[in-house]
Amino acid sequence: GDGWPAGTAAWRALLAGCGQVWPVGAADRNQPLVLDGERLYLRRYWQDETHVAQAVRGRALGGVTAIDADTETAEVRHWLDILFPHAARGGGPDWQKIACAVSVRGKLGIITGGPGTGKTYTVARLLALLFATAGERRGGLRVALAAPTGKAAARLKQSIDSALDELAGKVGETLPLKELAARMGAARTLHSLLGARPDTRAFQHHAGNQLDVDVLIVDEASMIHLEMMSALLAALPDQATLILLGDKDQLASVEAGAVLGDLCHNAERGEYLPETLGYVEASTGQQIPSSYAGNGGPIAQQTVMLRESRRFGGPIGALALAVNAGDAGAAVAVLRDGQDGKVAWTDLAKPADLWQLALNGRADAAGGYRRYLQMIKSGIPEGDEIVQLAWVKAVLEAFEGFRILCAVREGEWGVTGLNDVIEQKLQQAGLLKRNGEWYIGRPVMVTRNDYATGVFNGDIGLTLPDPARPGALRVYFSEGGNVRSVLATRLRNVETAFAMTVHKSQGSEFLHTAMVLPKEGGGMLARELIYTGITRARDYFTLLTPNGQVLLDAIGQRTQRASGLRELLDN
């Protein structure tokens, strides 16, 4: 009937009277639901949100004033001029240099930017700066690197190592950067860093047993959900510096929260206070244009957005920008133009278009799975372990050069349907022999963390013959420059991965990325998903749409997550 409450106030009054609901401010009887303002929470999420807001604000405010002393600022300036010897391109401010200065100013630094804006390039210089300004502590500075997935962690370590290596040549003997790089240790997943245990949600490291670190750098921070961010902040000692890197415009985490998006919601505008502008000028010699001045909260003062993409020019970059801005017309123009074959769009796509692409790539863009499968067919070269390992690496690299990403899991254009079709077509083409679940050449994605074998949700491996045991199969995972392998029979939670969801592809990039949208969007697809898919492509991007309208609708729609974090941060 018409007995529903009319309007928000009436709903609030009704909920406040429920026995299972705690209205914040009333006597707390440990009810499972919490009513805070106009938001109704599960208590666990309310606690996580409150804790994240307090911890992040505390970090942003803590330690900011002390370092503004003139001598310290002058030291920062001295090193930054060595680390960034050239003026920024295009004559504007050098946001990378500014990001380093801002990050050493407090116990929190947030560096956001799209692909190719140089987040890891910047963070390598930030590490060198932290090391240089650590004084007596330099010898024992403990730095940890982490990311939400194994793949992203390996990429972070790889890019920081190569950036530090290149930097070591430039700064010479003044800073022993090679020694710093050697001491850093491998990058780890957040689960592994915090000490996840198979039988409980609780981590080994928490407020009562904190991490042993001075600096923690976390990449791909857009993937971190609320509960994980809360656990991470609790486990971090007060005096440690936390640096978050990520692209605020990417898909938010699969689980609750859009933490990076909430933390960075002012990043575009800057909103810097006069004190921040003054500090930046003194510590970097850079003047931030007055259009970025404002009255932002403590988090905004510790956040820098990198604005210039070095790698992501050209059609792929233009497409990503158009989608991000919600400009469907501009996106369609880039796709139709197909400049240099860098991007291509097949509308009214048929399944045959897809499996042709899966086999051979397209005329002006290498790709498809034929190449790595042919390498496997030629067989493992004769020789010792070193020769065999080199072959495994080459096959993995060939496989990693191309991937099909789906917006949805189910249906003809979803992951499950496409994996079956692609498998059949590759078999018909004589490129693989499928006999049972496991076969040579099968790419698999791990779907659950498995601490016994050391593989994690989202890791992707390739099934190859085990050189040591004829007839046995191993799954090989590439981790940065290294390769790890597990007997196929030991992997329980895996699925075939010729096609994968855009969500699972975060933190990876492929030379040629193909993205497939379903026939019906059903209001479920939004521009963050399209943007994340496009930005996985390094050199070539191919879009297949059975119904182009689904693309236009998705570009017009933003993901809205209800969260009180933004308000708590700004208060």
**pLDDT in the model for residue 281:** 92
Q: Does residue 458 come out as left (phi exceeding 0), alpha (psi in the -120 to 50 range) or beta?
A: left
Looking at every residue in the chain, the average pLDDT score rounds to 86
pLDDT in tens, 345-368: 999 989 889 888 898 888 888 888
E strand or H helix at 231, and its extent? helix 226-235
Whether 241 and 216 have beta carbons less than 8 Å apart is answered as yes
Whether 114 and 323 have beta carbons less than 8 Å apart is answered as no
Selected residue with higher pLDDT from 313 and 100? 100
**pLDDT in the model for residue 62:** 74
Among residues 217, 215, 219, 209, the alpha carbon closest in space to that of 240 is found at: 215
For the beta carbon of residue 325, count every other beta carbon within 10 angstroms: 14
Distance CA 552, CA 561 (A): 21
Distance CA 188, CA 152 (A): 9
Exposure of 366 in the CB half-sphere (CA atoms within 13 A):
10
**DSSP assignment letter at 293:** B
Distance CA 293, CA 479 (A): 42
Lookup result for tokens 């769009």: 345
Overall average pLDDT of the 76-103 stretch? 87
| % of the chain beyond a pLDDT of 90 | 30
> How would DSSP label each residue in 14-28?
HHHT-TTEEEBTB--
* Backbone torsions φ then ψ of 305, nearest 5 degrees: -105, 125
**DSSP assignment letter at 404:** E
Selected residue with higher pLDDT from 385 and 391? 391
Selected residue with higher pLDDT from 468 and 332? 332
Tokens of 41: 């929470």
**pLDDT in the model for residue 542:** 94
Q: Which domains does the chain have, with CATH numbers?
A: 59-309 (3.40.50.300), 315-336+353-431+439-554 (3.40.50.300)
* Sign of the alpha-carbon torsion through 116, 119, 123, 129: positive
pLDDT in tens, 214-237: 999 999 898 888 889 999 999 999
pLDDT in tens, 442-465: 999 998 877 778 787 788 899 998
Residue 562 has pLDDT above 70, yes or no: no
pLDDT in tens, 419-446: 999 999 999 998 988 888 899 999 999 9
Residue type, 45: Y
Torsion of CA 361, 362, 363, 368, to 10 degrees: 0
For the beta carbon of residue 414, count every other beta carbon within 10 angstroms: 17
Residue 3 has pLDDT above 60, yes or no: yes
**pLDDT in the model for residue 68:** 52
| Angle at alpha carbon of residue 128, lines to 122 and 129, rounded to 5° | 85
Integer angstrom CA distances of residue 68 from 277, 278, 281: 12, 10, 12
Distance CA 140, CA 212 (A): 11
Distance CA 326, CA 156 (A): 30
Among residues 408, 368, 361, the alpha carbon closest in space to that of 546 is found at: 408
Within 38-92, residue ranges assigned H as helices are: 43-61, 70-83
**DSSP assignment letter at 252:** P
**pLDDT in the model for residue 96:** 93
Q: Does residue 361 come out as left (phi exceeding 0), alpha (psi in the -120 to 50 range) or beta?
A: left
Distance CA 565, CA 49 (A): 6
Residue 66 has pLDDT above 50, yes or no: no
Whether 443 and 376 have beta carbons less than 8 Å apart is answered as no
**pLDDT in the model for residue 257:** 67
pLDDT in tens, 133-155: 887 666 678 889 999 887 788 78
Whether 87 and 39 have beta carbons less than 8 Å apart is answered as no
Instruction: Give the pLDDT band of residue 11 (cuts 50, 70, 90).
Output: confident
Residue 261 has pLDDT above 90, yes or no: no
Distance CA 88, CA 62 (A): 30
Work out the burial of residue 263: count CB atoms within 10 Å of its CB; fewer than 13 is exposed, 13-18 middle, 19 or more buried.
buried
Instruction: Give the pLDDT band of residue 517 (cuts 50, 70, 90).
Output: very high
Among 44-48, 63-67, 287-291, 450-454, the least confident range: 63-67
Whether 340 and 321 have beta carbons less than 8 Å apart is answered as no
Instruction: Give the pLDDT band of residue 198 (cuts 50, 70, 90).
Output: confident
**pLDDT in the model for residue 566:** 77
